[in-house]
Amino acid sequence: MAEALKKRSEMDPQFQWDLRDLIPTEKALEELFSELESGIGRYEGFKGRLGEDAAVLKEYLDHDVAMDLKFSRLLAYAIQKRDEDTSQSASQALLSRAQLLLSRAMEASSFAEPELLGIPEPVMKGFLEDGALSGYRLYLERILARKEHMLGEREERLLAGFGQTAAAPSAIFTMFNNADVRFQAVRGGDGEEIPVTHGSYGTLMESRDRSLRQAVFHSYYSSYRQFSNTLAAAYEGHVKQACFTARARNYSSSREMSLAANEVPEQVYDSLLETIGSRLPALHRYVRLRKERLGLPELHMYDLFVPLAGGTDKRYPYEEGKRLILEGLKPLGEEYGKLLETGFSSRWIDVYENQGKRSGGYSRHVYGCHPYVLMSYTDSLDSVLTLAHEMGHSLHSWYSDHAQPPAYAGYTIFVAEVASTCNEVILFQHMIRQAETREEKESLIFQLLDRFRSVMFRQTMFAEFEWETHKMCRDGIPLTADALCSLYHGLNEKYFGPDMCVDPEIDVEWARIPHFYYTFYVYQYATAFAAAVTIGQRIFDGDKNALEGYFNFLKGGSSMKPTELLKLCGLDMEGPGVVNAALDVFESLLGSLE
């Protein structure tokens, strides 16, 4: 019988992140709460005074940034404590306490932006020219650019107080998906009972036993189907909140509001959907090739993950996975490699799945502390790539934090996915070049094609689903489970083409995607993948200018607009060129296998 998941307390600490680097003791945690309580009280002393002179404004901004840094540390600690075991009520209570305090801080400081926007233009111009505020010039200019979307002080206070309520749908989904949902175990070919979990699902779907894949697929999605009405209500609540806020802030749509927050033109989104849509015949060719290689009369959704060549059956224990990443990413230079080694050896990473652990993976950083990575490593090539991906995020954060002041150290999601995916692309190229047999090389090419399918095509399909659901909400169309399943089924038929049997179970896949609660997030995986393919190939080929531009990009933080940061790498993201160039690579790889 397969081994059941261990409790958190039964795991080897060397494979768990060390949160003491964030907050070392319970005493330090309570001291941080006290400092934040006191800091909230200080906001009242600035009210009505921001236009007095540059010195007062700087004092306020220094205080606000200091509060942001403290809240960042507190929330990172609370979220990560919850995520390492979501069944623990104490961690849930800690996070709720931190979020409540943050909501109070947002209410207390809600006067600031309306007050800043009310400062007469000649006065603000003088402030911006004052040397004391030189470190905040871009920060203030970004606030002023949102002037038409800011409300009065009372309305801003109400919206700030609404924030914690607005987060409820996401919190409901998170608790359901990580603490409550259970999947029925399945029987293997030898009759043994095999548990189905978030962590094991991907590995089981790679099994060459088609009956097992089908059983796992049915088990997994049956659980979501059982709760589809509840999950539809949670998702509709999230979408309604986004649409309400967009209307309140005078945006034409929730998408415009979300993209504006990252300074990304909506044309980037539309261009992605249009360009991918025009190149779907390439994905249909891939589906047909997979069907032929597997020798199947019908290709089902549960056949999308089984390796198409023997080389991908290779297992990569964690130590081997780390060694492969260090070797494969050598084109990024010696310093980059040493930072990777530090992360691997200093407990930045929470490696293996345990009971109650949040599914998926992420990298989280706090200014003044090293980044952290959460994942569920399973010795698969996909786990190696996930580790490389998340460490790409982490080192992006490290370089940005060390090159930028706190106000500009953070970066938008749009550029974040470039750094992480670039690691994957370079690692893939290394492995393909080092392949010892034709079979291994072919299997790696198939894996890279699968990466295109799952990132460029599938994430664009997610982006189209998300945009359609937000438009439905805007137009007053209820987001029922049936409506969402129907929309999702149609998109799968469109994207995967005539050679794919779109199983009814997949209709409810939307109900398990956590990123749909990060409004208009998923499209950035596809745009970033396109950018990363271009950058990674240039670096792998030894282009020193590309490498220099890439490290300037990594150090840029939010000191420039995202599209301007990518121009440091020689990329223009506002047209279809970068996406088309990446799809040309996909078709070239596909053609070589056909």
Q: Catalytic one among 107, 156, 353, 390?
A: 390
Residues 560, 549: contact at Cβ < 8 Å?
no
pLDDT of 1 reads: 40
Query: In the structure encoding, which two tokens stand for residue 24, read together?
Result: 């070392």
Average pLDDT for consecutive 10-residue bins of the chain (594 residues)?
79 96 97 98 97 96 97 97 94 96 95 90 90 92 85 80 82 91 91 91 92 96 97 97 94 96 93 96 97 95 86 82 98 97 97 92 94 95 93 97 95 90 93 88 89 95 98 97 98 98 97 95 93 91 94 96 93 90 91 85
Q: How many CB atoms lie within 10 A of CB 174?
A: 19
What CATH number should be reported for the domain holding residue 264?
Answer: 1.10.1370.20
Closest residue by Cα to residue 402 from 326, 322, 341, 339: 339
pLDDT of 24 reads: 97
pLDDT of 359 reads: 85
> 175 in a domain, yes or no?
no
> 384 in a domain, yes or no?
no
pLDDT of 535 reads: 92
pLDDT of 33 reads: 98
> 513 in a domain, yes or no?
yes
Number of domains in the chain: 2
Q: Are residues 142 and 271 in the same domain?
A: no
> 390 in a domain, yes or no?
no
Domain end marker among 166, 192, 216: 166
Q: Are residues 20 and 155 in the same domain?
A: yes
Closest residue by Cα to residue 377 from 356, 397, 355, 349: 349
Domain end marker among 166, 184, 215: 166
> 220 in a domain, yes or no?
no
> 93 in a domain, yes or no?
yes
Query: In the structure encoding, which two tokens stand for residue 492, read together?
Result: 């799968």
Domain end marker among 113, 134, 166: 166
What CA–CA distances, in Å, run from 400 to 103, 143, 395, 504, 520? 27, 22, 8, 45, 24
390 has catalytic annotation: yes
pLDDT of 314 reads: 82
Q: Are residues 132 and 25 in the same domain?
A: yes
| Radius of gyration for the alpha carbons in the chain, expressed in angstroms and rounded | 24
> 2 in a domain, yes or no?
no
> 224 in a domain, yes or no?
no
The residue range of the domain holding 585 is: 253-315+413-594
pTM: 0.79
